[in-house]
Structures are given as structure tokens and as C-alpha cells.
Structure 1
């Protein structure tokens, strides 16, 4: 029977010590039910690094408060092996928060194995932009819902003390990956958080795109500008004209009029699925569509980051129309229309950098 570890309402100095003391006395196969008032993923990775002992853990519910998870103690790590964190059951926002915290805590030469349900390459760009060229990134496996990457900090971090949630040097990101990467990560930032972009010049087309997508719900500040380098800080705010922003967003993602005649084949409700399974189910449903058909996606939050991923990858026949936007219930018609005459668009379509 699992032993309970109660970590709620503990001072910071006791939090990690209590967890480590209990785990240190455990044997392989022992299980613990941990209740905490914060994410403990960084502490569990740190334990593996310091004690050369593998751990596995699974949350009872990815979004529940307090955090409840079951931790299983594994065998001692082999020489040169790294501790592992499997983030497939975490919501995307918590994935990035946990992984950024873990990397911040690494000393030079330390690392971990990341397990994800899709290629986590955007994280590589994020870490490199924030810490400099001190990341060793090696794929151990790719595809089939399980991507494994060995991540090692190879030098001292070049991170600054500026109060930003994340930073991307878009000069280092392939052009066709820039839009999906920026919008996907921006969608995870909480109100008041700041994203910093480093570009070869001020990305005014991106600013116009943000205005179209997010209305007045952000501020845009150029904090540095010199030839070949421009730093822009984008802060997510509470829009004072929410209805206008919503209308702009609907215009940006609304489908052409042929969607009204599109045949709806099913309703796909992913609210009860673990985050790791949602994208797989949605993309498979899209792949199974015939031309002129679609399905209604039901989600518990605005799936806008998914829109940008589809928009970048699915081609001109992709359609997306919001049908409902309520707290806890968003409905979107996702469809596959007839491709435009003349074939697919030019793959070298310019992006705003």
C-alpha cells in the first residue's frame, strides 16, 4: 500500500528535505502518494541527479489542486545515465514551466531525459535563446507518441535577470517554424507575463498579426534596436476592448462561406482525455476527413495554439470556425475543404521577419 507524503503548507526549506528524506529510505518498487500545493517535478528530477536513482510519477489529474501524484522508486541509475521526466500528462503551460525550472537548476554537465508526445524542438529554441549556446540536445527516439530527448547543460548559463517569462531569438529559428513557435508559446503565458523576441529588425508585420489575433490584450515595447538586432517585449494584458479582440480573432480564424455546407461527421470531445492524447486524437480525426467534411472539436479552453499548428502544417484546404466560446466549453468546426485552383501555395511564402 502506498505511503502518503503530505507536503502542503510546508516552508520552502522543509519542502524538499522532507521529500528527499522519505525517498532516500525507499527500495525499488516502493510507491508514495504525494500531496503538494505546488508542482514538484523539478524536485523529483533533482533527486534523480543527486541520488542516482530512477523515479517515475503520474498525476491523479493533471490540473487538480492540490497536486496529487503517485511516485514509484526505481532501480539505481546506470553509469552516465540521466534521470527522466515524462511530461505527456501535463498541460502545455505546466510543461514549459516545469522544464524551464529544471534546466535553470542544472549545474554544468548535468542533464535529464525528456519524454514528450511530440517533437519538443520549440523548447530547444527557447532554452538556447534564454541561456545561450550551452545546450546539448540528442534525440534518443522519435515518433509514435513518444519522443525522448537527452538534454545536458554544457556550460554556464547566459540568462539575464530581466523579468521575462520566455525569450526567443527568432534569427536562430527556421522561417517556417517561427509563427507556430511564437503563437504556441504566447498562448501559454499568463496575464501579466512577458515574452521577449530578438529579431534582425523590428517585426512590424508580426505586431499587426498580434493586433489582429489578440486585439488590445497585449503591449509591445522595443527595448533595444541596432543594426541586425532588435529586442521586443510583448506583455499579455487584460484587454479593455474584449469584444473587439474577440471579433478580430473570429475574423482571423473564420472559414470561408463554403463551411456552411460542410458535412459534420462527428463531435470530438477531448475534455476528459489526458493532454498527451488530445493532439493525437485531433490530428487523427483530421487525417481521416474526406474533402468537404469536418468535425466539431469540444475543448475546455480556447485551442488557439492548435489553430496555428494546423495553419502551418495542414495546407490551404484547412478550415477552422468557432461555434461556441464559453468558460469550460469551446466548440470549433475543423474541416477539410476543396483546395484552391492552381494547387498549393508557394512553400517560400514570406513570414514577418
Structure 2
């Protein structure tokens, strides 16, 4: 029998006590279903640290509200063994927020093993920018859809995040990685939130890239400038603020197959079918992103999956450019088909069909 605890009527400071009590009373391998209106992952990491006990947990649906998380105790952790935090089921927009919260709660010498489906190096730069030189970061494995990194906080610290959702000191990031890291994280911040950059000078090439990719949907403000140091705050516009001339955004008229009539001339040609149903989950995203990277403008492929690939959409939305195109073709139990491609004309925003069930 599964133990269920509903935290929706509890205050956040009550979460740890209720979660700990339920897990303490549960035998190894027995599931506890936790229902909450906010993420609980940081509390589960703390449980592993304080109880020296490994946990296994998975979200019923990463997009669902409220969150429903199935948690079970595993074997005790060995000496100096870190608990694991697998974020591959979380949509990209939530991964950084949850991981920053988790790191904030760590004490000196505490840590966890991060499991991700791609190299999480942008997180390393983000943690260093917000906490300083208190991060021990060691790769345990790389590639094949499973990257494992041991992350330890070496000293007490408090995130320097006043007035911003995240901060990057780009002076600490190798030049080849700077722009990719910034675009990657910017794509994940919610509308209306602010990212701060600290650079040796105002990064005008980056500003031009933002203008080309995001149009007028952001605000760029230099808040401090002195020799060798420039602070820039970039605020993502609210969706309703991103239209020009003060007009409200209008919906395109969709034709019978769910494709926006206004965007129908931009539909990529589907040249191949990529069926990932027989692949292990850890290998699927890597194969899909490789197929996308190999596309030329105007090309696409039809993804076939055994469940709704909404988390994949969110990752593309955060990381791909305005040429990204996504359109559902079929939704049946055990068979979801999505046309994924690159448009030939780039409007500054990803192109998504006007299907009312599109995942955003």
C-alpha cells in the first residue's frame, strides 16, 4: 500500500518534517506519494544527507500541477557516498531553479550527485557566479544521455541574487562557451524575470545576437560600468508585452490539420521518421537532438514516441533558435507523432502549430 501525504495545505516550512516523518516510517523499497504545490526535491536531497539513506524518486508528470512525486527509500549510503539527484524528468525551465534551491540549502561539506541528459556545465558557471569559489565539481561519467557530476559545497555561502533570478560572471566562462551558456540559461527564465551579466565591458556582440534572436522581447540595461567591469541586466518581456505598437497578440487561424494558416508556408519538409520507442529513455533525447542538429533549414523529421514528449518540447524551446518548429501529427495511446524541424524563415520566435493542445 502506498502512503500518501498531501502538502498543499501545509506551509513550506512544514514540508521537511512531514516528508521526513513519512519516509522514516516507511520500509525500504515502499513508495510514498507526495503531493505538493511546489518542488520538494531539495528536501529529498537533505533527507539523504541527514539520514545517510539513498532515495529514489520520480515525478508522475513533470508538467503537472500540483506536483506528484513517488519516493522510496533505498539502501543506506556508504562512507563519503553522496545521494543522487536525477533531473532528467524535469522540464529544463525548472531544472536550474530546483538545483539552485538545492545548492542554497547545502551546508559546508554537503553535496549530491547530479544526473543530467547533457553536460550541465552552465550550472557550474552559474553557481560560481552566485556563490563564489565554494563549489567542488567532479565529473563521474559523461555522455550517452547520462552525465553524472559530484557537486559539493566546500564552505558556507548565500546566493547573491538580489533583484535577479540568476547571475553570470562571464569573465569566469571560457570565451567559446560564453554566448551559448547565456542563451541556454536565458531561454529558461520565466517571462518578466531578470538575468544579470558581469563582463569586462558592455557585451555589444551579445546584445546584437539578442536583438536578432528575440526582437524587442527583452530589456537591456547597463546598471554599473567601470574599467574592467560592466553589469548588465537583461529582463525577458512578458508575453503580452512582446508585441509591437501596443497591440494585443492575435491568434492565427488554424486549418483542419492543426497547422497555423499564417505559418503554413513555413512547415518544414519531413524527410524521415525517427521512432525512439525501442530506445532506453536515457538515449532518446541525445538521438533526437542529434537528428535536429543535422537538419538544414526547411527540413524536418517525424518523431514517434510512446508518450507525449512535452518535456522535449520545453528543452527545444529553451535551447533552440527561432527556426525551431513543432507540430503534433498524432496522439494515440502508445503512439505520439510530432513533426520537428527548422523553418526557412526566422521570425524571432519558435514556430509552433496553433493546435490548442500544444505544450505551452
Match of 2:190 in 1: 190
Alignment of 1:262-341 (within 5 A): 264-266=270-272, 279-286=285-292, 294-296=299-301, 303-308=316-321, 320-321=343-344, 324-326=352-354, 328-329=357-358
Provide the secondary structure at the position in 1 that maps to 2:144.
coil
Match of 1:25 in 2: 25
Check if 1:120 corresponds to 2:120. yes
Report how far residue 55 of structure 1 moved: 0.3
Distance between the aligned counterparts of 2:211 and 2:290, measured in 1? 32
Match of 1:55 in 2: 55
**TM-score, with length taken from structure 2:** 0.76
What runs of 5+ residues in structure 2 fail to find an aligned partner?
246-264, 304-308, 325-340, 345-349
Distance between the aligned counterparts of 1:194 and 1:309, measured in 2? 21
Distance between the aligned counterparts of 1:279 and 1:207, measured in 2? 30
User: For residues 108-158 of structure 1, what are the alpha-carbon distances to aligned partners after superposition, in whole Å with 9 as ceiling and x for unaligned?
Assistant: 111111011111111101101111111000111111111111000112326
Match of 1:175 in 2: 175
Residues 7 and 263 (structure 1), Cα distance of their counterparts in 2 relative to 1, 3 Å cut: closer
Provide the secondary structure at the position in 2 that maps to 1:283.
helix
User: For residues 26-66 of structure 1, what are the alpha-carbon distances to aligned partners after superposition, in whole Å with 9 as ceiling and x for unaligned?
Assistant: 22212111111111000100111111111010111111111
Report how far residue 280 of structure 1 moved: 2.0
Match of 1:340 in 2: none
Provide the secondary structure at the position in 2 that maps to 1:55.
strand
Alignment of 1:1-353 (within 5 A): 1-157=1-157, 159-160=159-160, 162-238=162-238, 240-242=241-243, 264-266=270-272, 279-286=285-292, 294-296=299-301, 303-308=316-321, 320-321=343-344, 324-326=352-354, 328-329=357-358
Residues 13 and 133 (structure 1), Cα distance of their counterparts in 2 relative to 1, 3 Å cut: closer
Distance between the aligned counterparts of 1:176 and 1:307, measured in 2? 18
Distance between the aligned counterparts of 2:12 and 2:174, measured in 1? 41
User: For residues 285-307 of structure 1, what are the alpha-carbon distances to aligned partners after superposition, in whole Å with 9 as ceiling and x for unaligned?
Assistant: 34777x89832468755734432
Distance between the aligned counterparts of 1:92 and 1:320, measured in 2? 23
Report how far residue 282 of structure 1 moved: 2.0
Match of 2:254 in 1: none
Report how far residue 92 of structure 1 moved: 0.5
Deviates further, 212-221 or 177-186:
212-221
Distance between the aligned counterparts of 1:13 and 1:261, measured in 2? 49
Match of 2:261 in 1: none
User: For residues 266-319 of structure 1, what are the alpha-carbon distances to aligned partners after superposition, in whole Å with 9 as ceiling and x for unaligned?
Assistant: 36699xx99966632422434777x898324687557344325999xxxxxx96
User: For residues 221-259 of structure 1, what are the alpha-carbon distances to aligned partners after superposition, in whole Å with 9 as ceiling and x for unaligned?
Assistant: 112111111111111122645269xxxxxxxxxxxxxx9
Residues 214 and 25 (structure 1), Cα distance of their counterparts in 2 relative to 1, 3 Å cut: same
Report how far residue 202 of structure 1 moved: 0.4
What runs of 5+ residues in structure 1 fail to find an aligned partner?
245-258, 312-317, 331-353
- The total of aligned residue pairs comes to 311
Task: Say what the alpha-carbon RMSD is for the aligned residues.
Answer: 3.5
Is 1:263–1:292's contact at 8 Å kept on the other side of the alignment? no
User: For residues 200-233 of structure 1, what are the alpha-carbon distances to aligned partners after superposition, in whole Å with 9 as ceiling and x for unaligned?
Assistant: 1001221222122222222111121111111111
Residues 131 and 261 (structure 1), Cα distance of their counterparts in 2 relative to 1, 3 Å cut: closer
Deviates further, 159-168 or 73-82:
159-168
Distance between the aligned counterparts of 1:323 and 1:97, measured in 2? 26
Residues 262 and 217 (structure 1), Cα distance of their counterparts in 2 relative to 1, 3 Å cut: closer
Distance between the aligned counterparts of 2:51 and 2:153, measured in 1? 19
**TM-score, with length taken from structure 1:** 0.77
Residues 292 and 202 (structure 1), Cα distance of their counterparts in 2 relative to 1, 3 Å cut: closer
